Homo-oligomer: A and B are copies of this chain.
C-alpha cells in the first residue's frame, strides 16, 4: 500500500485531536485535515463512512503509512517510533514512565468522563457539574504529581507527550469554567507551552473547521 500525505480526521474543539495535531506539528509532519463535525448532521462521526474508519465513532483517526490508527496516545506512540525526532518521550525509562502516567491520567482518567457522548448521557441539567467534578478530581491529583516531575514542562525540561495532553485538557477546564487558581503548577506549565509555535498553530481557534466566530 502506497501512502500519500497523512490524513488526520479531526474536530477543531476535540482535545484528543489537538494532542495529535501538536505531535504532528512538533515532528514537522505535513498532513491533510478532514474535519469531522461532532455536532452537525447529528454528528458526522456516526456516518457509515466514518464508522468504517473508526468503529469507536471518535476523532482523531490518522491515516498514515497505509494504516489507520485511532486513539490519540496510540497515534502519538506510533509517530514516536517511526519519526523519532524530536522525541516526545525521554530516554530514561523512569522518566518515560512519568510521561505515560501523566498522559494516561488525563487521557484515561479525566477526558473520557467529560467528553461529548458521556455528557449527553448525563443530561443537560447535570452536565456542567459532572464535567467540573471529573476535571477537578483529576487536576487535584495531577497538581500533586507534577510537583515532583515538572521542570519547565510536565516532566523535566523537554516537551513530552504529557504536555500534549495537558494543554488541551486545561482548555477544556476553561471551557467548563473550572477555577484553575488551586493549580499553580498546571497553570504555569500550560502558560509556558501555549507560547510555543506547535501549540499555537494547532490551537482550536486556528483550524480549517473552526467557525468564524471562534477564530483568533
Contacts and interface: CB of A to CB of B under 8 A. Distances in A.
Interface of A: 54-58, 65, 67, 69-75, 77-78, 81-82, 93-94, 96-97, 100-101, 103-105, 107-109, 111-113, 118, 121, 130, 133, 138, 140-142, 144-145
Nearest to A93: B81
A108 to B, nearest CB: 4
Contact of A94 (B58, B65, B70, B105): B65
Most B CB atoms within 10 A — which of A70, A82, A142? A70
State the oligomeric state as a number of copies: 2
A100 B103 CA distance: 14
A175 to B, nearest CB: 20
B55 A145 contact: yes
Contacts of A69: 97, 101
Given A113-B113, A121-B133, 16 more contacts: A55-B141, A56-B105, A56-B109, A56-B141, A67-B97, A69-B97, A71-B101, A77-B97, A77-B100, A104-B107, A107-B108, A108-B108, A112-B112, A112-B113, A113-B118, A121-B130
